[in-house]
A and B are shown apart, each in its own frame.
Chain A
């Protein structure tokens, strides 16, 4: 158990809809990272937050947005969903000191029909 909690574990929705994925980082971790993993693909970096502020951005679509709240949990919002958005979405958290280990949650599997 990594200590990172993601909900929901599975989500099935239709094209054009909007969903919110939630992540609770490990206790004490200030950084939250979001990654997208499509079928048999690698981990595509979406966005990183540190203590409530956006720190780095990857190839995140304009239809996607994220935020980190004062209690450090984070939400990834995906809107106007397309079939190609079907993927595993992972959240990871990291301790405060520079480069270091990412602790991943078990992911949220999104299926868009």
Chain B
């Protein structure tokens, strides 16, 4: 069935360093790949997304890349700040109307 694998499950970086989170999806009909940030006690919130006709997208310190052939997509956060500490989820919107989430990455940014 549809599946999204996400790595690593936990990531600890020093403030100012970069953080990279990687995901792999299984459904070749997937066409939309959002990334969500979940802060403690809150619902996930979209931070960036990419559609299948684009290879890369950037928004200030955040970028996402997509390799459709390999079914990989990645989130890159540069110049990390303590407020970037949260749980990050990748997701893929499949051909069957579902949005399937990865297991999440807990990011710690140490000041």
Interface residues of A, Cβ cutoff 8 Å to B: 2, 4, 33, 35, 41-45, 48, 50, 55-56, 58, 90, 92, 98-102, 104-107
Question: Can you identify 23 A-B contacts, CB atoms within 8 angstroms?
Answer: A2-B45, A42-B6, A42-B101, A42-B103, A43-B104, A44-B101, A45-B98, A45-B100, A48-B97, A50-B97, A55-B97, A56-B96, A56-B97, A58-B98, A99-B51, A101-B49, A102-B34, A102-B44, A102-B46, A104-B36, A104-B44, A104-B45, A105-B43
Interface residues of B, Cβ cutoff 8 Å to A: 6, 31-32, 34, 36, 41-46, 49, 51, 89, 93, 96-104
Chain A residues near B42 (CB, 8 Å)?
Answer: 106
Chain A residues near B100 (CB, 8 Å)?
Answer: 45
A104-B89 CB under 8 A given contacts A42-B103, A55-B97: no
CA distance A98 to B44 in the complex (A): 20
